Structure 1
């Protein structure tokens, strides 16, 4: 009797561990369904993993993070620059997302070229 009970418990534990691992491996996080604290942590983690030496497109970022909280674009010398701001650190509990609560990501012709304060500085230097 005890052997049967232990076997059932072990089988249940193995099944639980297997289903949990499958869910974690294949379930894509949905930023739109997260609360604001989780979304900020999610955005921060993803943004600071971005590698400027690799070709990363604007669409890849949007596919992963969803739409930006704030965005601006300029055309300079036939090149299109877009800076997207994703909230990564809330400063006020006023319900309004401002640039100072976000991390900027700069794209030139839809390719990532800068992150953070560097992105803002480069974008602001454009005519």
Structure 2
């Protein structure tokens, strides 16, 4: 009986030292992760764009887009490059609704943003 009391007491002392930290005060808005740096960079570069820039110039400036679309409309080649610029959902995936579309006709920038994309 005395042995059971000692074992129980030893287990209680051992297990009472176990603590699991959940949550915390991590401030995700101040976290300087790579996707936030990329978003910030893309926003800054898009603010410098001018109409009629070539798709090649844009790719040199911004790098590889997150998504691309290409099709013919009214006899013109239309290309849309999507670059991540704003966070929507913390799921580890970039989606088109987190990107700014850049619209090209005949390889020249004709507009960017939701309105330019909707007018297609």
State if a TM-score over 0.5 links the two structures. Answer: yes
2:39 match: 40
Q: Secondary structure of the equivalent of 2:119?
A: helix
Deviation at 1:78, TM superposition (A): 2.2
Q: Highest CA radius of gyration, 1 or 2?
A: 2
Separation in 2, partners of 1:84, 1:98: 13
2:78 match: 81
Separation in 2, partners of 1:115, 1:40: 16
Separation in 2, partners of 1:96, 1:71: 16
Q: Secondary structure of the equivalent of 1:51?
A: coil
- Asked if the contact 1:43/1:65 (under 8 Å) is kept, the reply is yes
CA displacement 1:27-51 (0-9 Å, x = unmatched): xxxxxxx811111000001112212
Runs of 4+ displaced beyond 4 Å: none
Is 1:62 the counterpart of 2:59 in the alignment? yes
Any unmatched runs of 5+ in structure 2? Answer: 1-32
Any unmatched runs of 5+ in structure 1? Answer: 1-33
Separation in 2, partners of 1:45, 1:80: 27
Separation in 2, partners of 1:112, 1:77: 17
RMSD: 1.4
2:92 match: 95
CA displacement 1:95-119 (0-9 Å, x = unmatched): 1111110111000011000110122
